[in-house]
């Protein structure tokens, strides 16, 4: 039972509450523990978000597709983490990304109605969610206000940072080169030249169809922006 | 007393509750009613956000400055509306904009601690805030996924839409031309040519130092994005 406590107290939205409160939670809430094999889909882009889902072991890749589908940005989240807390409420409660297990992983799933009861049961749970949502909502404004040069490197960094989250690892932009050029509004030669200089500075690796971001922090430095 | 009820039940975060609940609210909460003359500052960029502030009469202009300060984007919000609900929680609870009265206006101000009590007193109040925050948080991802051409018009529309909100009127981008060119990463000739074609299509008016957006919806059309 001890490990159950620890698992729960470690989760982003359940931090900071007393052991007693967690006991109560364990007693009163229907927790669904699910196992996924590497590569299995956990939630698909367009699915209704009706559960809050936590990664309690292993890792999950979130993949966003741009409007033309030939540019996708993805990142890996490791346990303990939460998947798409921003999509439980709002006008469109659908996932904008596909989430699939990046390794064998364990997911703790709680129904929205149960999670709402949790939010109402203790201020700390409520604040955790309000802080998370507010932070995400503020992020885009801060990112835009940090734009300064309009350079291709800056635009690329903005795109990557905006679609990924703090702690996101193994960030990968997969693309058809001509479509990435269109999306960014540049010629192929400018793209290659910018990617080459980002590679030289140790920020990314790239091939003809993929950019690997070495560290999300380095993207922030391009934006001259404080971490989100 | 009747008008007090109506004022409160009309406010974005107080909608959908019963008259009884509003009575209770009026009884238990310290409401501060403030009056501002046209042009007076209500909150300054960098100020700590320790109150929730509602516009109950008149209008308020929110003004964002870019990192180099010579490009500012502003919009006018009319009553009934809320100012900066996204900045009460999160890591940085400071206003990113300066808010000043665009006409003589009335503000209803509630202390954060009182507002938290309100959130806990009824699920409807809580859902109103969770929906608002989630919607704002989702907005940037939707905007970015809607980008498709990398054109200057699209980048300009993205900048404007991301920093303004649904219902924002009289949207104005004031700039030193050379600094706007730098921010957007374009030559002066491209800027003028894009602005001219946006003017011809009836989307904006512009001078050497100012763009007036005729309708925020038209900016969305440039983004090929659903309304937020």
Q: What residues have CB less than 8 Å from A85, skipping those under 6 apart?
A: A12, A13, A52, A129, A132, A133
| Beta carbons of B63 and B97 less than 8 angstroms apart | yes
Which residues of chain A make contact with B84, given a CB cutoff of 8 A? none
Q: What is the pLDDT of residue B169?
A: 96
Query: At the topology level of CATH, where does B2-60+77-136 sit?
Result: Jelly Rolls (2.60.120)
User: For chain A, what is the total number of helices (H) and then of strands (E)?
Assistant: 8, 11
Percent of residues, chain B, with pLDDT higher than 70: 96
Q: Is A155 on the interface with B (CB under 8 A)?
A: yes
Mean pLDDT of B30-48: 96
Q: Is A154 on the interface with B (CB under 8 A)?
A: yes
Q: Is A50 on the interface with B (CB under 8 A)?
A: no
pLDDT score of A220 more than 90: no
Q: What is the pLDDT of residue B150?
A: 82
Query: Closest chain B residue to A127 measured between Cα atoms?
Result: B89
Please give the C-alpha separations between residue B191 and each of A158, B181, B183, in angstroms, as whole numbers: 21, 7, 11
Q: What is the pLDDT of residue B223?
A: 82
The closest CB to that of B150, out of A143, A183, A224, belongs to: A183
Is A96 in contact with B138 (Cβ distance < 8 A)? Answer: yes
Which residues of chain B make contact with A191, given a CB cutoff of 8 A? none
- CATH fit for domain A139-223, picks 1.10.10.10, 3.30.365.10, 3.30.70.360, 3.40.50.2300: 1.10.10.10
**pLDDT tens, A58-109?**
999 999 998 667 899 999 999 999 999 999 999 889 999 999 999 999 999 9
The CATH number of the domain covering residues in A2-63+76-137? 2.60.120.10
Phi (first) and psi of residue A147, to 5 degrees: -65, 140
Distance from CA of B1 to the nearest CA of A (A): 31
Percent of residues, chain A, with pLDDT higher than 90: 68
Distance from CA of A58 to the nearest CA of B (A): 26
At residue A225 the predicted structure's pLDDT band, cuts being 50, 70 and 90, is very low
At residue B117 the predicted structure's pLDDT band, cuts being 50, 70 and 90, is very high
Q: For all residues of chain B together, what is the average pLDDT?
A: 91
Q: What residues have CB less than 8 Å from A25, skipping those under 6 apart?
A: A8, A14, A17, A118, A121
pLDDT score of A122 more than 50: yes
At residue B1 the predicted structure's pLDDT band, cuts being 50, 70 and 90, is very low
Is A134 in contact with B163 (Cβ distance < 8 A)? Answer: no
Is B134 in contact with A183 (Cβ distance < 8 A)? Answer: no
- DSSP secondary-structure letter at A48? B
**pLDDT tens, A170-212?**
999 999 999 999 888 889 999 999 999 999 999 999 999 999 9
Mean pLDDT of B48-66: 95
Mean pLDDT of B201-212: 95
At residue B143 the predicted structure's pLDDT band, cuts being 50, 70 and 90, is confident
Which residues of chain B make contact with A149, given a CB cutoff of 8 A? 182-183, 185
Q: What is the pLDDT of residue B66?
A: 80
For chain A, the structural domain boundaries read 2-63+76-137, 139-223
Residues in chain A: 228
Q: For all residues of chain A together, what is the average pLDDT?
A: 91
Distance from CA of B226 to the nearest CA of A (A): 11
Q: Is B116 on the interface with A (CB under 8 A)?
A: yes
| Beta carbons of B119 and A126 less than 8 angstroms apart | yes
Which residues of chain B make contact with A186, given a CB cutoff of 8 A? 150
Q: What is the pLDDT of residue B127?
A: 94
At residue A223 the predicted structure's pLDDT band, cuts being 50, 70 and 90, is confident
- ipTM value: 0.92
Cα A30–Cα A79–Cα A23 angle in degrees, nearest 5: 35
The closest CB to that of A89, out of B130, B140, B182, belongs to: B130
Q: Is B64 on the interface with A (CB under 8 A)?
A: yes
| Token couple for A101 | 């297990």
């Amino acid at each position: 039972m001890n490990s159950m406590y620890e698992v729960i107290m470690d989760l982003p939205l359940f931090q900071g509450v007393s052991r007693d409160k967690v006991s109560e939670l364990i007693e009163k809430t229907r927790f669904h523990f699910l196992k996924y094999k590497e590569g299995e889909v956990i939630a698909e882009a367009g699915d209704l978000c009706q559960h809050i889902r936590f990664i309690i072991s292993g890792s999950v890749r979130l993949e966003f597709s741009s409007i033309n589908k030939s540019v996708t940005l993805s990142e890996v989240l490791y346990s303990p983490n939460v998947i798409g807390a921003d999509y439980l409420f709002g006008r469109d409660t659908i996932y904008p990304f596909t989430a699939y297990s990046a390794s064998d992983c364990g997911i703790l799933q709680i129904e929205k109605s149960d999670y709402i009861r949790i939010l109402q049961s203790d201020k700390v749970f409520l604040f955790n969610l309000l802080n998370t949502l507010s932070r995400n909502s503020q992020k885009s404004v801060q990112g835009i206000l940090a734009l300064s040069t309009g350079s291709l490197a800056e635009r690329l960094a903005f795109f990557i940072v905006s679609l990924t989250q703090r702690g996101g690892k193994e960030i990968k932009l997969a693309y058809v080169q001509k479509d990435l050029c269109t999306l960014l509004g540049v010629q192929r030669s400018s793209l290659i030249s910018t990617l080459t200089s980002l590679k030289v500075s140790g920020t990314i690796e790239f091939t003809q169809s993929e950019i690997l971001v070495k560290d999300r922090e380095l993207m922030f430095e391009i934006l001259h922006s404080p971490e989100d």
